[in-house]
Amino acid sequence: MMNIDKLIIGFDSALRTLLTPAHTARPVPGSDIPEPDLTVSEKDLSAALMRVNHVGEVCAQALYQGQGLTARNQAVQQTLMKAAREETEHLAWTERRIDELGGRKSLLNPLWYGGSFAIGMLAGVMGDKWNLGFLAETEKQVGEHLSGHLQRLPQHDVKSRAIVAQMQIDEASHATMALSNGGAELPLPVKFAMKLSSKVMTQTAYWV
């Protein structure tokens, strides 16, 4: 596929991610569970945490688009696109839960998308083994982040907890897939920089 075609597809994906509701092929985890009786403060907490998770999925879409655009190997591109499809489902799940909790999505989603897209392109330019290694490390850090959310979410908000738990399973699967396809272990300074940028994003998205 020519680069111009990839750019058009990438632009279309950005518009879909930022402007249209996401869709899911799988049932939303916890959709068969009755809505729990949450206090106002508990709803606000859950909505804020789910907003952070939604931002993470917006970033994931942008990362995979950027990585796929610059990936050199067709198999690597397919690996990235498979992960992206499941991340689209996560996008739909978190978006729906935010609505149910009466919350809102981050006002800075276009900024998160643009920055993540640029990072994804850079990862792809570095070569396929580093591209996949970046994917694996990203998913590992996301899994740790989701573990923290399972500790912070109200215990009886079982609907939100079901979504986060399934997301955590999927992220671990993506990391394993990336490593099994030849992903390289990233240097410690890169891992630290990724954690630092993620911390800035999550703390900002919690409020904005």
Say which residues have a Cβ less than 8 Å from residue 102's Cβ, sequence separation at least 6. Answer: 43, 47
Q: What H or E segment, with its residue span, contains residue 192?
A: helix 188-207
CA distance 169 to 172: 5
Range of weakest confidence among 43-52, 100-109, 144-153, 170-179: 170-179
User: Which residue in the block uniquely carries the two structure tokens 């994804």?
Assistant: 120
Q: Counting Cβ atoms within 10 Å, is residue 12 exposed (0-12), middle (13-18) or buried (19+)?
A: exposed
CA distance 191 to 80: 20
pLDDT tens per residue across span 51-78:
999 999 999 888 888 887 887 777 777 7
Range of weakest confidence among 45-54, 155-164, 197-206: 197-206
Interval 160-179 mean pLDDT = 93
Percent of the chain with pLDDT over 90: 56
Please say whether the beta carbons of 64 and 177 come within 8 A. Answer: no
Looking at residue 198, its amino acid is S
pLDDT band for position 203 (cuts 50, 70, 90): very high
- DSSP structure class, residue 20: S
Q: Where are the alpha helices (DSSP H) in 20-127?
A: 40-70, 74-100, 109-125
pTM over 0.85: yes
Taking alpha carbons only, the member of 160, 132, 179 closest to residue 52 is 160
pLDDT tens per residue across span 139-164:
999 999 999 999 999 999 999 999 99
CA distance 124 to 194: 16
Say if residue 2's pLDDT is above 50: no
Residue 72 DSSP SS3: coil
Residue 115 DSSP SS3: helix
CA distance 14 to 88: 12
